Amino acid sequence: MEKISHAASVLRRGGLVAFPTETVYGLGANALDEKAVAKVYEAKGRPSDNPMIVHISRASDIGMLTPTLSPAIVKLADNFWPGPLTIICKKREEVPSIVTGGLDTVAIRLPDSSIAIELIKLSGVPIAGPSANLSGSPSPTKAEHVIADLDGRVDVILKGPDSRIGIESTVVDMTVSPPVVLRPGVLTADILSAAIDEPVELDPALLGRGSSDEAEDSAEIIPKSPGMKYKHYAPTAEMVVVEGQRKRVTEEIKRLKSMNERIGRKVGVILFEEKEYVEAAHDFYARLRELDDEKVDLILAGALSYKDGVGFAVMNRMMKSAGHNVVKV
């Protein structure tokens, strides 16, 4: 409590605090303080048109950030907060445009982590918090990942437990009708749709390049969530995703591995147990960082099924990590 309370006072004074959440670790700053938010972009090396999620400690604080609370927004907050759901709403004027990358909307989340909730509550302000990694590198799911990326660049790193979920929240845009999922997460469009009793669509950009056969030609579709256009989650090593029937994938990975080892390259493999999607989400970023620490030259990753909602969310990250470098077998 003492450490959280110290961290909260650092936030109040305009400092930067990295903190655990159930999705990934976040890098927080007072969302209402433009200078503090500017420091977050600087510490992460993040492009300034990539907006941040604003974190609150109780659902009723949503009204501080948005003037328009539709019944559907209230239902989502009731059903899924605290939890891995980020809701895009119209923003109030008080929310500085540096937080929202110049958009007239704001992304809001109430994280399911007692440390995060206590920190936000004690700071007394909403907390802008992107993932606590250097921009472009895999998201941090352990305190040691945050230390590796941000030690010396931020004021406080709160060490908590490993992130329970391991991939970022689902981002749903509630300013359009029907609502649209801009970033997939463990809460799928179907789950959200059932809760609000209306259809929820997937941003067509999510069905683009590499994501199975869905929309091979849709590489031109412009993502609505600005963050989605950047290089993301990338390990230092070259990475290739092998997609297809399980048995063939295993064989192809084996073949590519020995072929590359013969020419002197160090090869790492990411092959999750079949259908263990939740576990894959939990381990994915940590595996990328582990393999980078082992200084492998090439990472071969087996694709998961896109048909499973969590599998789809992990594949969204895996494809970006690999720069959409896919071998189909």
Which residues are at the interface with Mg ion (CB under 5 A)? Answer: 131
The one among 16, 36, 106, 298 contacting ligand AMP by CB under 6 A? 106
Using only C-alpha atoms, the chain has a radius of gyration, in whole angstroms, of 19
Instruction: State how far the Cα of 303 lies from the Cα of 212, in Å rounded to an integer.
Output: 10
The one among 21, 225, 260, 321 contacting ligand AMP by CB under 6 A? 225
Judged by CB, which is closer to ligand AMP: 182, or 300? Answer: 182
DSSP 85-108: EEEEEEPPTTS-TTTTTT-SEEEE
Which of the 8 DSSP states describes residue 131?
B
Residue pair 60/108 in contact by the 8 Å Cβ criterion: no
What totals of helices (H) and strands (E) does the chain contain, helices first? 10, 14
Using rule CB under 6 A, residue 100 touches ligand AMP: yes
Question: Which x/- pattern, by CB under 6 A, does the window 15-54 give for ligand AMP?
Answer: -----------------------------------xxxx-
Residue 51: contacted member of Mg ion, ligand AMP, none (CB under 5 to 8 Å, by partner type): ligand AMP
Interaction residues for ligand AMP, span 146-175 (CB under 6 A):
168, 171
Which of these segments, 8-16, 97-105, 193-201, 261-269, binds ligand AMP (CB under 6 A)? 97-105
Location of structure tokens 């941003």: 203
Size of the site for ligand AMP (CB under 6 A): 20
Q: Shortest gap between Cβ of 26 and ligand AMP (angstroms)?
A: 8
Q: For residue 253, what are the contacts with CB-CB under 8 A and spacing of at least 6?
A: 242, 269, 271, 300, 302
Judged by CB, which is closer to ligand AMP: 223, or 244? Answer: 223
Q: Which residues of 316-325 are buried (b: 16+ CB within 10 A; e: fewer)?
A: bbbbbbbeee
Using rule CB under 6 A, residue 56 touches ligand AMP: no
Q: Shortest gap between Cβ of 89 and ligand AMP (angstroms)?
A: 8
> Taking Cα atoms as reference points, which of 199, 165, 210 lies closest to residue 26?
165
Using rule CB under 6 A, residue 88 touches ligand AMP: yes
Instruction: State how far the Cα of 143 lies from the Cα of 131, in Å rounded to an integer.
Output: 12
Judged by CB, which is closer to ligand AMP: 131, or 260? Answer: 131
> Taking Cα atoms as reference points, which of 201, 195, 186 lies closest to residue 279?
186
H or E segment to which residue 157 belongs? strand 156-157
Instruction: State how far the Cα of 327 lies from the Cα of 329, in Å rounded to an integer.
Output: 6
Judged by CB, which is closer to ligand AMP: 51, or 268? Answer: 51
Using rule CB under 6 A, residue 239 touches ligand AMP: no
Residue pair 29/16 in contact by the 8 Å Cβ criterion: yes
Using rule CB under 6 A, residue 204 touches ligand AMP: no
Judged by CB, which is closer to ligand AMP: 44, or 300? Answer: 44
Which of these segments, 34-42, 65-73, 226-234, 269-277, binds ligand AMP (CB under 6 A)? 226-234
**Residues interacting with ligand AMP, by CB under 6 A?**
50-53, 88, 100, 103, 105-107, 130-131, 168, 171, 182-183, 225-228
